[in-house]
Structure 1
Amino acid sequence: MKRILVATDISNNSSAAVRFALQLALQWPVAITFLNVHNVTRPVGEIQRQLEQFVEEVRQQLAVTIADYSCVVINAFSVTETIMHYARKHRFDYICIGARGAGTIEKLIGTTTATLINQSTVPVIAVPASYQVAPIQHLLYASDLTNLEAELKQVVDVAQPLGATVDLVHVMGPAKPEFDLDDLQTTVRQISALKISVYIEAAIVEQNLAANLEQIIQRVQPSLLIMFTTQRSGFVRRLLFPSQCAGYTFIGSVPVLVFTKA
């Protein structure tokens, strides 16, 4: 059974992550822990009751029943460090958290969600505030075609228990070498028995990768986007070279699952 840590600040925006996790639990045997990390002086017991009520209200709105979940409240100074430490210590398979658009300063400094994507060793699911509950039936794997075999196996491991279809898309920039679509389709068939549709899309050069992906997503309407990111160490490197995966969470219209590249 997979274990999912849902980080929430008990706000309306963060309810999207709760909704997604509950939908996931309907399709996949998962154990869910809802975690609130705060650094205010209110009693932990009071926040615990608020968290439990918050989760229960969302559950009732969706009219779903889940058997295996718990609520945890931690008082700590650093929200992101505490989430990452708790996820590692208790061996969670995924961290699920809400994502919302941010202004220029927030993008430079980094939201909690972006920081988790850039630093967490546990895969992160970022769910936009606009997320509406629906069966997870179609996965879009955005690939740079490096480490394809290892990454595709991870994608299939997500798709199979959900009964979801998979599309692979490679966004090709003007400076990149051309890939032969037939060769790529053959390679994918050799890696996985799951039927996977493969697309190569030419990038719009005036747009970054996140904007190019969002245009593709508007066309193919996946339930979940899957990406792999190269994490950068050091504040300056993360500031100058932000993750494209983290960048997508500022504009994305669908949940995105981010793994760390091997």
Structure 2
Amino acid sequence: MKRILVPTDFSSRAENALKVAAQITRKNDSEIHLLHMLEIPSQMNDAITGATPIPEIMLFIQKAKEVMQQTKEKNFLKDITIVDAIKIEKATQGILSYTNDNEIDMIIMGSNGASGLTEFIIGSNTEKVVRLSSVPVMVIKEEITQFEPKNIVFASDFSEEIKKPFQKILNFTNQFQAKLNMVTICSPNSFKTTSLANKLMNNFIQEFNLQNFSTNIYNETTIEKGITNFANEIKADLICLCTHGRTGLSHFFSGSISEDLANHGNKPLIIFKI
């Protein structure tokens, strides 16, 4: 994990993501790529390639450069290698193209999502990046002054296709010497008997060298509520999920969202693509 990308609109939620990235960077001796996207109307964008760029565009670019420099000088980024970039492109496309062009290992993004894991990232640029990114995406909602996850939830159906991204999850977990709490959520729309759920998890973990872990079965009316309630009950610091990029997270979750039960609090979420 040598290159961490933090897209920023210079908002407080983007700064929350940047603070977490800074903490991970110090632990891994990596670098942060700080990216700001200028989504300028198409007619202005066309003018950039002309002989005389219009003053409004130059003003936008200059202001972005000034705020970017101020961001890089924040105390929590002291002594961290920062690579900054300003791109004139649609946010999602720009983030993804920058990720591919610069061999980014992880994206960390802020979100002001509503309650519920799905609303946390669905219907925003963050959801689009999660769905299309080839690298893990971490979503941060609120400020985390000390990102030191020691209790991590991994919710899955533990199918064969999960094995490849699971190794990445293990690598991430080991970096923080955290306990990995693996859980199968049984809901009316995704029901498994206890014996079958245990068999799937036990067969799954045999191929991996697991040290500090637990296997769990949790019953709930929807998968989302099950993940959220289980994470709250064990006081998890982080939730890990795998998803098919082609369908997005809305396919992963079954059932509707209930605000009173799906209160995820401050927990960060990291998504690995299958």
Q: CA deviation at 1:48?
A: 1.9
Give the structure-1-normalised TM-score: 0.80
Matched, 1:35 2:31: no
Distance 1:220 1:109, change over 3 A: closer
- The residue that corresponds to 1:192 in the other structure is 209
Distance 1:145 1:169, change over 3 A: same
Q: CA deviation at 1:89?
A: 1.3
- The residue that corresponds to 1:177 in the other structure is 192
Q: CA deviation at 1:243?
A: 5.0
Q: CA deviation at 1:161?
A: 2.2
1: CA distance, partners of 2:139 / 2:33: 16
2: CA distance, partners of 1:202 / 1:72: 46
Q: CA deviation at 1:187?
A: 4.4
2: CA distance, partners of 1:211 / 1:257: 17
Matched, 1:67 2:67: no
- The residue that corresponds to 1:217 in the other structure is 231
Question: When the two structures are aligned, how many residues end up with a matched partner?
Answer: 243
1: CA distance, partners of 2:263 / 2:111: 9
2: CA distance, partners of 1:243 / 1:99: 19
1: CA distance, partners of 2:226 / 2:104: 32
Letter in 2 for 1:166: L
Structure 1: unaligned runs, 5 residues or longer: none
Letter in 2 for 1:9: D
- The residue that corresponds to 1:134 in the other structure is 147
Q: CA deviation at 1:231?
A: 2.0
2: CA distance, partners of 1:220 / 1:189: 24
- The residue that corresponds to 1:97 in the other structure is 109
Structure 2: unaligned runs, 5 residues or longer: 41-56
Q: CA deviation at 1:202?
A: 0.8
Q: What secondary structure does 2:73 align onto?
A: helix
Distance 1:221 1:231, change over 3 A: same
Letter in 2 for 1:222: A
Q: What secondary structure does 2:12 align onto?
A: coil
Structure 1 contact 166–197 (Cα < 8 Å) conserved: yes
Letter in 2 for 1:13: R
Give the structure-2-normalised TM-score: 0.77
Matches within 5 A, 1:143-158: 143-147=156-160, 148-158=162-172
- The residue that corresponds to 2:174 in the other structure is 160
1: CA distance, partners of 2:69 / 2:214: 41
Structure 1 contact 18–55 (Cα < 8 Å) conserved: no
Match of 1:49 among 62, 66, 73: 66
1:64-89 Cα distance to aligned partner (Å, 9 max, x none) = 6443222211122x111110111011
1:199-253 Cα distance to aligned partner (Å, 9 max, x none) = 11112x1xx43333222222222222111011226xxxx69x55549x9xx9643
Q: CA deviation at 1:189?
A: 4.7
Q: Percent identity?
A: 19
Structure 1 or 2, whichever has the larger Rg, is: 2
Structure 1 contact 170–199 (Cα < 8 Å) conserved: yes
